[in-house]
Amino acid sequence: MALAEEKCEACRAGTPTLSGEEAQQLLKETPAWTLKDNKIEREFTFKDFKEAMGFVNRVAEAAEAEDHHPDIYISYNKVRLVLWTHKIGGLSRNDFVLAAKIDRLV
């Protein structure tokens, strides 16, 4: 099953983070994202602020539906998203699931 078809699962404190090897494998399914400091991130560029904000609102809806929320940084027509699982202090499969769903929004 493709990552974008999966549903984020509830994480609890104490759930182990992904190993570097596991993260690299999942990154192959989300190649536009980069691994940085035990987080994954991607920057998007849009025509203008309005288009960027429309995208942010679509990301917010997808994130809320999955109960998994990215860090969002907006600068006029650029949006940078950073994903990591706050409860466990690192990466989980959920980060890659949401990244794949976000890729479909572009």
At residue 3's C-alpha, the angle toward residues 71 and 79, to 5°, is 30
Residue at 99 is within a domain: yes
Structural domains in the chain (count):
1
Name the burial class of residue 15, with classes exposed (0-12), middle (13-18) and buried (19+) by CB atoms within 10 angstroms of its CB. Answer: middle
pLDDT digits (tens, 9 = 90+) for 48-88: 999 999 999 999 999 999 999 999 999 999 999 999 999 99
For residues 66 and 99, is the Cβ–Cβ distance under 8 A? no
- Answer yes or no: is 106 within a domain: yes
- Nearest alpha carbon to residue 33 among 18, 43, 45: 43
88 assigned to some structural domain: yes
Within-domain flag for 14: no
Which stretches does DSSP call E strand in the chain?
34-36, 39-45, 71-75, 78-83
Q: What is the mean pLDDT of residues 14-22?
A: 90
Does residue 75 lie within any of the structural domains? yes
Which CATH number belongs to the domain containing residue 59 in this structure?
3.30.1360.20
Does a structural domain hold residue 3?
A: no
> Which residue range is the domain that position 55 belongs to?
33-106
